Structure 1
Amino acid sequence: MSRAFLYATAAVAVSFALSSCADGGKSFAGSGGSEMNMQEAANRADSILDDTFSQVHPAVRWTHGPTTTGSCDVTRRRAVMTIVSAQRRGSFLGVVDRSWRNSGYRMKSINSDPDVPAMFAQTKDGFGVSLIVGGEGQVFFEVDSPCVEESEVAESTTKATAPTYEGMEHIPRPNIRSPFWSAGAP
């Protein structure tokens, strides 16, 4: 991952963590008024990511990024391993934007930079959702939970659709070609 992506991701994570934990560390009351713990928040984050990827047609291949936890929040990440060409990047972003808006997410910010675009949204239940295009056009997704009750967090049970690159220090650049997403024509 590039330094710019890491800095941008860190800044986003800090801003979401600060905004989601502004209640002084009290537990988040999810839908139905029940308290949610970090594992339940991680499961919800997986569901948000699963829903997003299910709206992308043709499907892209992705792998898990690291799961991180804070004092009262959890973050799940995925990296797209399908090459999304510069010519198809706008279409990809449009598909995700429509998916999030149709799900009732509030769009918080959109960076329209042609080389490193990004989108930031928030779900009705307070989860921060982001898409950042990093080096060589690699697309990264991240879901940050609001402040929830502390608990252990297991790795995601959602099966990645690309190799998992276990034991490697970094996820490699996208390396899977798609007749549609990798095409050089808009």
Structure 2
Amino acid sequence: MNMQQAAERADAMLDATFEAIVPRVHWAHDTTTTHTCDVIRRRTVTTVVSEQRRGSFLGVVQRHWEKSGYKIKSVRQDQEMPAIYAVSPEGFQIRILFGYKGQAFFQVATPCVTKSPVTDPTTPANGPAYPLGRIPAPNIRSAFWSAPAPLP
């Protein structure tokens, strides 16, 4: 596997994760980082996920990852900035974390593979496309994910 193929696998992992989140959230591609032999793909959620719904959001993601055969490496159960870190059977590291203003950030880091050029992701963003480095804080409201009450 070369870096381009690994980046495409990372994109497929992120695509499947976002497909598992229902109702859908809006997201934008974030930066891609390449190193000597690995690639990091990132996506940033622009839908507001209320503090009361973050646990449910994380639960949806965690259940999808477990069903996909990923091993959960750690869970940060922080009220404001929770996170889940997992690894796929092929050694791809995947994570979700909540940061500033409750914004959800997804990242996949590939294992070391054969060096090659890497193109930009081809999956269209689900929501407005922003220039890299200019993704705003969550600004799209969802009747479900942005609701101020926890799920029963």
**TM-score, with length taken from structure 2:** 0.97
Alpha-carbon distance in structure 2 between the residues aligned to 1:76 and 1:158:
12
Change (3 A) 1:180 1:73: same
Q: Which residue of 2 aligns with 1:156?
A: 121
Aligned: 1:71 with 2:71:
no
Aligned: 1:96 with 2:61:
yes
Aligned: 1:138 with 2:103:
yes
* Deviation readout 1:84-103 (Å, 9 max, x if unpaired): 00011010000001000011
**How much has 1:149 moved relative to structure 2?**
0.3
- State the SS of the aligned residue for 2:53: helix
* Deviation readout 1:91-138 (Å, 9 max, x if unpaired): 000000100001110111110001000110000001000001001100
Aligned: 1:174 with 2:132:
no
Alpha-carbon distance in structure 1 between the residues aligned to 2:55 and 2:85:
16
Provide the aligned length of Structure 1 versus Structure 2.
150
**How much has 1:164 moved relative to structure 2?**
1.8
Q: Which residue of 2 aligns with 1:115?
A: 80
8 A contact 2:30–2:133 mirrored in 1:
no
Identity percentage over the alignment? 55
Alpha-carbon distance in structure 2 between the residues aligned to 1:169 and 1:89:
24
Alpha-carbon distance in structure 2 between the residues aligned to 1:132 and 1:99:
16
Alpha-carbon distance in structure 1 between the residues aligned to 2:34 and 2:101:
28
Structure 1 portions without partners, runs of 5+: 1-35
**How much has 1:165 moved relative to structure 2?**
1.3
Greater gyration radius:
1
- Pick the aligned partner of 1:147 from 77, 97, 112: 112
Alpha-carbon distance in structure 1 between the residues aligned to 2:121 and 2:133:
19
* Deviation readout 1:130-161 (Å, 9 max, x if unpaired): 00100110000000000000000000000001
Alpha-carbon distance in structure 2 between the residues aligned to 1:42 and 1:109:
23
Structure 2 portions without partners, runs of 5+: none
Aligned: 1:185 with 2:139:
no
Q: Which has the higher strand share?
A: 2
Structure 1 segments of 4 or more deviating over 6 A? Answer: none
8 A contact 2:27–2:126 mirrored in 1:
yes
8 A contact 2:31–2:133 mirrored in 1:
no
Q: Which residue of 2 aligns with 1:13?
A: none
